[in-house]
């Protein structure tokens, strides 16, 4: 047993904090892209476009059925060998793409379930005033499905933030990558990884608080 | 002028609407009565294409739709020429009273937002709910929700307003205010096709009463004729039961 090097840990905090913006940037961009993609996938799964449905199912099945790390390696190291235009893709972009595709598959299932959960009368009212299917989805069904799916989606966002730590395997210096470098210099692995763990933890707990406020806000708008 | 010809609807093997013919003049109020399960709701839903008819034609103003050949465009045109008031109100849960009324104006009719808002507020005033403009449906009583539902249909300026038992889901205390609003709509010479079990109201508001049974129109005529001197035995039995 040895004592924790608290001074080292305190000194490390601002260093790693400097990489929080990059972590949040990757997670946020991936989240926005994944929400859009997942909504499209979910709508397709509900209305079942002939000829497209099997492709969407295959997509969802693949990205839910394989590990995120494997998908990231496939994108970053594998795909550029086959598709030359991907050759100069950088680690951050590859990580965002990987997170987007991976989480959109999960989120699509959550949104699909929420869409089905929107009361039938809401669809009929939208149809009765002559909305096109796209208008009905965008104006009536998806906003209500979003409210149903919100808690689940926030949980995926939290998973996504933690998932950005895998970007360090693509050579990206984000929170985890920075910690790894610091630890390799100081050999104080326990202290370094404990600091980064606590920082992730604080970020996630802050989001959990945000989620509660989001739910109160969403329910205040039209409580049942 | 509304003209329904040979309107037929089957669910599975059973014929729920059996070649219905019905003409409705501009400004006319037609009330549909009949036993449960005779296809009254289905008739209204087919006119609005919420249920797709299997055969027949529906003409509302300039919009003429042949059920067997109806394209998506025809279907939208017909829905935009008609307005539906639902038994369970079916207000958009994610929108306030005012936004519920604005929705069709902004999204479907592509009117400027400020104009739509003015119109929505004017309609809300007519429904007596001006002070509820920013309330969500969940904060309104059944009667208030249904008045917003009627307001939503009024604002569209449809050639035909369809009411499917608009008071059946209401607690008795709210029925009066909804019927009052419907009377006001009728005063504006709005063409209305109404399914209701409120016989007194039917007698008072209807220009003509239609009695349906088994997916067919069995008897049609002015309210006093149909309700006081019924010819068909099924109608007589029905009237004895609801009296
Ligand atoms: N979506 C559907 N699928 C199968 N059958 C249906 C469907 N909708 C209605 N029906 C059947 O069609 C018949 C007519 O139904 P409809 O709702 O039009 O009757 P109604 O006259 O409005 O009755 P009520 O007075 O009870 O409202 C009923 O036998 C009903 O079971
Ligand atoms: Mg009915």
Residue B206: domain span: 2-242
Say what the ipTM of the complex is.
0.93
Q: For the segment A141-154, what is each residue's pLDDT rounded down to a tens digit?
A: 999 998 899 989 99
Helix (H, G, I), strand (E, B) or coil at A118: coil
Percent of chain A with pLDDT over 70: 98
Q: How many domains does chain B have?
A: 1
Q: For the segment A61-73, what is each residue's pLDDT rounded down to a tens digit?
A: 999 999 999 999 9
The CATH number covering residue B211 comes to 3.40.50.300
Q: For the segment B124-166, what is each residue's pLDDT rounded down to a tens digit?
A: 999 999 999 999 999 999 999 999 999 999 999 999 999 999 9
Domain ranges across chain A: 6-222
Helix (H, G, I), strand (E, B) or coil at A70: helix
Which residue from A34, A73, A54 is spatially nearest to A169, judged by alpha carbons? A73
Q: Long-range CB contacts (< 8 A, 24+ apart) of A5-13?
A: A5/A188, A5/A191, A8/A186, A8/A188, A8/A191, A9/A191, A9/A194, A9/A195, A12/A179, A12/A182, A12/A191, A12/A192, A12/A195, A13/A195, A13/A199
- The three-state DSSP-derived secondary structure of chain B is CEEEEEEEEEECCEEEEEEEEEEECCCCEEEEECCCCCCHHHHHHHHCCCCCCCEEEEEECCEEEEHHHCCHHHHHHHHHHEEEECCCCCCCCCCCHHHHHHHHHHHHCCCCHHHHHHHHHHHHHHCCCHHHCCCCHHHCCHHHHHHHHHHHHHHHCCCEEEEECCCCCCCHHHHHHHHHHHHHHHHCCCCEEEECCCHHHHHHHCCEEEEEECCEEEEEECHHHHHHCCCCHHHHHHHHHHC
CB spacing of A129 vs B104 below 8 angstroms: yes
B87 to chain A: nearest residue by CA?
A: A121
pLDDT of amino acid B242: 86
Q: Output the CA B31–ligand 2 centroid distance in Å.
A: 13
Chain centroid to CA B147? 13
Give yes or no for a contact between B57 and B65, defined as CB atoms under 8 angstroms apart: yes
pLDDT of amino acid A223: 57
Q: For the segment B91-132, what is each residue's pLDDT rounded down to a tens digit?
A: 999 999 999 999 999 999 999 999 999 999 999 999 999 999
Residue A3 scores a pLDDT above 90: no
Which residue from B85, B88, B81 is spatially nearest to B101, judged by alpha carbons? B85
Which residue from A147, A155, A116, A114 is spatially nearest to A31, judged by alpha carbons? A155
Residue A15 scores a pLDDT above 70: yes
Residue B66 scores a pLDDT above 90: yes
Chain B contact present for A134, CB below 8 A: no
**Number of other residues whose CB lies within 10 A of the CB of residue B28:** 18
Residue A222 scores a pLDDT above 70: no
Percent of chain A with pLDDT over 90: 74
Give yes or no for a contact between B92 and A114, defined as CB atoms under 8 angstroms apart: no
Q: For the segment A176-217, what is each residue's pLDDT rounded down to a tens digit?
A: 999 999 989 889 999 999 999 999 999 999 999 988 888 888
**Looking at residues A3-10, what average pLDDT do you find?**
88
**Matching residue, tokens 């360090």:** A168
Chain A contact present for B48, CB below 8 A: yes
Q: From chain B, pick out residues whose CB is under 8 angstroms from the CB of A121.
A: 86, 88, 90
Token pair for A207: 């989001």
Residue A221 scores a pLDDT above 70: no
Residue nearest atom 25 in ligand 1 by C-alpha distance: B36
Q: Which CATH class for the A6-222 domain?
A: mainly alpha
Q: For the segment B7-37, what is each residue's pLDDT rounded down to a tens digit?
A: 999 999 899 999 999 999 999 999 999 999 9
Q: For the segment A133-179, what is each residue's pLDDT rounded down to a tens digit?
A: 999 999 999 999 988 999 899 999 999 999 999 999 999 999 999 99
Q: Is B89 left (phi over 0), alpha (psi -120 to 50) or beta?
A: left
Q: Output the CA A116–ligand 2 centroid distance in Å.
A: 24
CB spacing of A127 vs B156 below 8 angstroms: no
pTM, entire model: 0.85
Chain A contact present for B110, CB below 8 A: no
**Looking at residues A30-58, what average pLDDT do you find?**
94
**Looking at residues A10-33, what average pLDDT do you find?**
95
Chain A contact present for B145, CB below 8 A: no
Q: For the segment B177-234, what is each residue's pLDDT rounded down to a tens digit?
A: 999 999 999 999 999 999 999 999 999 999 999 999 999 999 999 999 999 999 999 9
pLDDT of amino acid A217: 81
Which residue from A131, A175, A155, A153 is spatially nearest to A22, judged by alpha carbons? A175
Whole-number average pLDDT of chain A: 92
Q: For the segment B91-100, what is each residue's pLDDT rounded down to a tens digit?
A: 999 999 999 9
Confidence of residue A1 (pLDDT cuts 50, 70, 90): confident
């Amino acid at each position: 047993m040895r004592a924790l090097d608290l001074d080292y840990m305190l000194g490390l905090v601002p260093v790693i904090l400097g990489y929080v913006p990059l972590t949040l940037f990757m997670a946020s961009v991936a989240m926005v892209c994944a929400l859009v993609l997942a909504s499209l996938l979910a709508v397709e799964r509900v209305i079942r476009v002939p000829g497209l449905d099997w492709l969407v199912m295959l997509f969802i099945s693949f990205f839910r059925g394989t590990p995120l790390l494997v998908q990231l390696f496939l994108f970053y190291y594998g795909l550029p060998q086959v598709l030359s235009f991907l050759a100069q893709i950088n680690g951050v972009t590859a990580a965002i793409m990987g997170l987007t595709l991976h989480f959109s598959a999960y989120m699509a299932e959550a949104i699909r379930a929420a869409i089905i959960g929107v009361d039938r009368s809401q669809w009929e009212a939208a149809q009765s005033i002559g909305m096109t299917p796209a208008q009905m989805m965008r104006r009536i069904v998806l906003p209500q499905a979003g409210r149903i799916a919100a808690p689940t989606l926030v949980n995926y966002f939290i998973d996504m933030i933690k998932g950005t730590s895998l970007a360090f395997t693509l050579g990206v210096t984000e929170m985890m990558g920075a910690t790894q470098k610091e630890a390799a210099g100081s050999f104080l692995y326990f202290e370094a990884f404990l600091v980064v763990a606590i920082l992730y933890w604080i970020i996630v707990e802050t989001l959990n608080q945000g989620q509660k406020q989001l739910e109160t806000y969403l329910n205040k708008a039209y409580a049942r | 002028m509304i003209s329904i010809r040979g309107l037929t609807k089957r669910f599975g093997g059973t014929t729920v609407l059996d070649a219905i013919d019905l003409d409705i003049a501009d400004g006319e109020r037609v009330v549909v009565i009949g036993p449960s399960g005779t296809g009254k709701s289905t008739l209204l839903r087919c006119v609005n294409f919420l249920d797709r008819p299997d055969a027949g034609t529906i003409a509302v103003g300039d919009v003429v739709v042949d059920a067997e050949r109806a394209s998506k465009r025809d279907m939208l045109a017909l829905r935009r020429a008609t307005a539906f008031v639902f038994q369970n109100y079916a207000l958009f849960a994610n929108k306030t009273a005012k936004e519920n009324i604005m929705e069709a104006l902004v999204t479907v009719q592509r009117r400027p937002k400020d104009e739509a808002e003015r119109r929505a507020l004017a309609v809300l005033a007519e429904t007596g709910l001006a002070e509820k403009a920013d309330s969500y449906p969940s904060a309104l009583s059944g009667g208030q929700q249904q008045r917003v539902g009627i307001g939503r249909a009024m604002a569209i300026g449809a050639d035909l307003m369809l009411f499917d038992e608009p008071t059946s889901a209401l607690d008795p205390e709210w029925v009066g205010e909804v019927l009052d609003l419907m009377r006001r709509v009728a005063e504006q010479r709005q063409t209305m096709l109404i399914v209701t079990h409120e016989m007194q109201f039917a007698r008072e508001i209807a220009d003509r009463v239609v009695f349906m049974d088994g997916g067919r129109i069995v008897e049609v005529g002015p309210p006093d004729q149909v309700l006081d001197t019924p010819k068909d035995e099924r109608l007589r039995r029905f009237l004895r039961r609801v009296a």
